[in-house]
Amino acid sequence: MWRCESVTSPLWFSLCKPLCHFESKKLLTYNKLKPACVSPTSNFKSQISLSCHRNYRSMKKIIIPALTLLLVYNAQAQKINKIISEKKVRKIETTLSSDAMGGRGLFSRGLDMAADFITAGFKSAGLQPVNDNGSYFQEFEVVEANQTDARGALNGKDIDAKNIFALTSAEELAVDAESGYELATITASDKLLNNAYRYMLSGKNYIVWVDTAHAKNFNALSRLKGERFRSNSSVILVLTPEPAKEFSFSIHHTIIEKKLKNVVGILPGKSKKDEYVIFSGHYDHLGIGKPDANGDSIYNGANDDAAGTTAVIMLSKYFSKLKNNERTIVFAAFTAEESGGFGSQYFSKQFDPAKVMAMFNIEMIGTESKWGRNSAYITGYEKTDMGKILEKNLQGTGFTFHPDPYPDQQLFYRSDNATLARLGVPAHTISTSKMDSEPFYHTLDDEVETLDIKNMAEIIKAIALSSKTIVSGEDTPSRVDATQLR
Ligand SMILES: [Zn+2]
């Protein structure tokens, strides 16, 4: 009888009905007071009917757009649930962390297998390869230099070879006071390794006089040897009681070139092609170690960071299906994060940082965060307003992101986001890892069975939804002030 009942759609009816009930209650109260008013032709009743109708019309104005939004949201939710499903996440995660991939150690066959697998994922998503030649591999080289011979003289006196240590990628080094090397000292109270490392990264040529108080530790400098990018700069450290005015050194190394590769796929933007949004994770891990009591020797790295890599592959599939990104999206699986971050360092040099609008680096999202399911944290939260944008986009989705609750652990500086952040890019890592109580972190037991894959799929969806307005170009996070970074 009431307008609400004559509404054909049951949904409209259920939305309008409470209002009509409210009006009919008023009518009943009125009836008690003025029973004579109650008749089918009563003006009052018609007014109420009209009022309910008006309410229905005004509600319609609100409800239609709200419902449209709801329908769009539901359609999106269905779409995202279909694309990023627990089943698909489990399949990718299980493959990447399988024993067959041997813990994805550096320069191993397992790492190459993982790279091929990620390539197949990017290819099936329809991403463009990073190279014009059709390859998704972003290849580069590092060198390992082994010192085989060293001679030196200080103020005309020969010194022992074991007191000379060079950090270089040159086979032959012949250096004297005329060579233009800068001079520096590491005193008895300085930290030997920290200071040597600083000179190594300076990009300049140095002769460093190391106080003999460090004689016992001088050999520890070999820890800095490992792989490095080929560089034109060399650092020669000399153990001596005092700096020399006259000096000469002749040092020989054997150089081994080693190849590494990131896997990178691109989804070009519709209108802002020159503005990049990056989703990344590292696909290397610790490889094979000594067997434990059960004979297991493989560091599967299911959480660290097969989980992040799985997320990158899933996100590539999601955004490819949506195909509505205004900005260009770059999906990157980095190599050598566990061995110095060479992959992300090389990657960061391939872009003009000013064109990178945001980086979502993903690390260890396979376990529940300290807040439980459907929540994650953002490292370096206070360094840009990107976290706030992500939180805004997650409102009403049931997901929550928080600032990193482990600031003492300096996680912002400890993953692949740091390289781009140092160039000013709003680059953060998203993680769920409970860094104060993650029992399998960097152990042989970081295996797929220890992960909550259902939650992991949800976190990947959360990352996708949180990035919405950045991918669309509506929001642009503020830049990192690199001068404030340590
Ligand atoms: Zn990691």
Three-state DSSP string of 118-151:
HHHHHHHHCCEECCCCCCCEEEEEEEEEEEEEEE
pLDDT the model gives residue 58: 55
Identify the residue with better confidence: 179 or 70. Answer: 179
467 Cα: distance to centroid of ligand 1 (angstroms):
22
CATH of domain 84-139+260-484: 3.40.630.10
pLDDT band at 451 (very low <50, low <70, confident <90, very high): very high
Q: Provide, for the chain, the percentages of residues in helix, strand and coil under a 3-state DSSP scheme, each rounded to the nearest 5.
A: 45, 25, 35
Listed in sequence order, the residues at least 6 apart from 236 whose beta carbon sits closer than 8 Å to its beta carbon are 164, 165, 166, 168, 173, 175, 181, 206, 207, 208, 249, 251
DSSP 12-23: HHHHHHHHHHHH
Which residues are placed with Cβ below 5 angstroms of ligand 1, an ion?
A: 304-305, 363
CA atoms of 411 and 471, how far apart (whole Å): 25
Check residue 416 and report its DSSP letter: T
Say if CB 438 and CB 369 are below 8 A apart: no
Q: How far is CA 454 from CA 42, 222, 367, 457, in A?
A: 60, 45, 10, 5
441 Cα: distance to centroid of ligand 1 (angstroms):
9
Q: Is the predicted pLDDT of residue 24 greater than 50, yes or no?
A: no
Per the prediction, the chain carries an average pLDDT of: 87
38 Cα: distance to centroid of ligand 1 (angstroms):
75
Q: Is the predicted pLDDT of residue 98 greater than 70, yes or no?
A: yes
pLDDT the model gives residue 187: 96
For residues 305-333, give the mean pLDDT.
97
284 Cα: distance to centroid of ligand 1 (angstroms):
8
Kindly report, residue by residue over 223-280, the tens digit of the pLDDT. 888 899 999 999 999 999 999 999 999 999 999 999 999 999 999 999 999 999 999 9
pLDDT the model gives residue 20: 33
219 Cα: distance to centroid of ligand 1 (angstroms):
29
280 Cα: distance to centroid of ligand 1 (angstroms):
11
Extract the tokens encoding 259. Answer: 């190849």
For residues 173-189, give the mean pLDDT.
95
Identify the residue with better confidence: 438 or 92. Answer: 92
Q: Is the predicted pLDDT of residue 7 greater than 80, yes or no?
A: no
305 Cα: distance to centroid of ligand 1 (angstroms):
5
Closest to 426 (Cα-Cα) out of 290, 254, 277: 277
Q: Is the predicted pLDDT of residue 109 greater than 90, yes or no?
A: yes
pLDDT the model gives residue 64: 58
HSE-CB of 466 using CA atoms within 13 angstroms: 28
Q: Is the predicted pLDDT of residue 10 greater than 90, yes or no?
A: no
Say if CB 4 and CB 17 are below 8 A apart: yes
CA atoms of 374 and 399, how far apart (whole Å): 5
CA atoms of 85 and 108, how far apart (whole Å): 31
DSSP 313-359: HHHHHHHHHH---SEEEEEEEES-TTTT-HHHHHHHTTS-GGGEEEE
Q: How far is CA 385 from CA 124, 155, 360, 391, 474, in A?
A: 34, 57, 13, 10, 14
pLDDT the model gives residue 78: 72
Q: Where in the chain is the domain with CATH 3.40.630.10?
A: 84-139+260-484
% of the chain with per-residue pLDDT over 90: 79
pLDDT the model gives residue 226: 83
Kindly report, residue by residue over 401-429, the tens digit of the pLDDT. 999 999 999 999 999 999 999 999 999 99
What is the residue whose two structure tokens read 């790492």? 111
25 Cα: distance to centroid of ligand 1 (angstroms):
63
Stated pTM of the model:
0.80
286 Cα: distance to centroid of ligand 1 (angstroms):
10
Identify the residue with better confidence: 372 or 2. Answer: 372
CA atoms of 78 and 90, how far apart (whole Å): 19
Identify the residue with better confidence: 453 or 51. Answer: 453
% of the chain with per-residue pLDDT over 70: 84
363 Cα: distance to centroid of ligand 1 (angstroms):
6
pLDDT the model gives residue 194: 92
pLDDT the model gives residue 60: 57
Extract the tokens encoding 151. Answer: 């001679």
473 Cα: distance to centroid of ligand 1 (angstroms):
29
pLDDT band at 486 (very low <50, low <70, confident <90, very high): confident
Residue type, 230: R
Sign of torsion over alpha carbons 380, 351, 474, 268 = negative
Q: Is the predicted pLDDT of residue 431 greater than 60, yes or no?
A: yes
pLDDT band at 12 (very low <50, low <70, confident <90, very high): very low
